[in-house]
Amino acid sequence: AEHGISMTVREEFFSTSAKGVLRGMHFQVPPHAHQKIIYCLSGRVLDVLLDLRMDSLTYGHSVGIELSAINHHVVYLPAGIAHGFLSQEDNSCLVYKTDAVHAPESDFGLRWDSFGFDWPIEKGIISGRDLNHPLFANFSSPF
C-alpha cells in the first residue's frame, strides 16, 4: 500500500510467445473487472496499455513500456486498463497476477490497431480472436 495500491492476488498465469507475436488488447468488463500486475520472466516485450476509464484524464490514451528479463520492470494495471503486447524475442514469457479469477463471460478485447498506438511492426503474428475484436471507436466503455 506504499504507493496507494491494495491488491490480493487470486490468480496467476503465464503467456509465452515467439518473436513477432502481437496480443491484445484484453481486459475484463464489470462485474469481473480486475487489477493486474505484469512482468517479464524471460525474453523482451513491448507492453501496451490503453486507458478505458471514462472519468480518467487519460481516457483513450495509450503507452508502451519495455518489459524484459533484464530490466525487471513491473507494471500495475487498475481495472479499466486494456492490455496488449508485442513479443520482441523468442520465448518471451509474461507473468500475470490478478485480483479476480478469469471470467470468460467478462473477457473482452479491442482491436490492437484501432486506438492510434504506433506499433513498431508492419505485420505481426496475431490470433484470429484478436483480429476480430471490435474497434476502439465503436466501444462504449463500462468503466
Catalytic residue numbers, as ranges: 26, 96
Q: Are 84 and 133 in contact (CB under 8 A)?
A: no
Q: Are 94 and 40 in contact (CB under 8 A)?
A: yes
Helix then strand then coil, in percent of the chain rounded to 5, is 5, 40, 50
CA distance to 8, 32, 99, per residue, from 45 (Å): 25, 26, 23
Q: Are 20 and 90 in contact (CB under 8 A)?
A: no
φ/ψ of 58, rounded to 5, equals: -110, 20
Distance from C-alpha of 9 to C-alpha of 101, rounded to nearest angstrom: 9
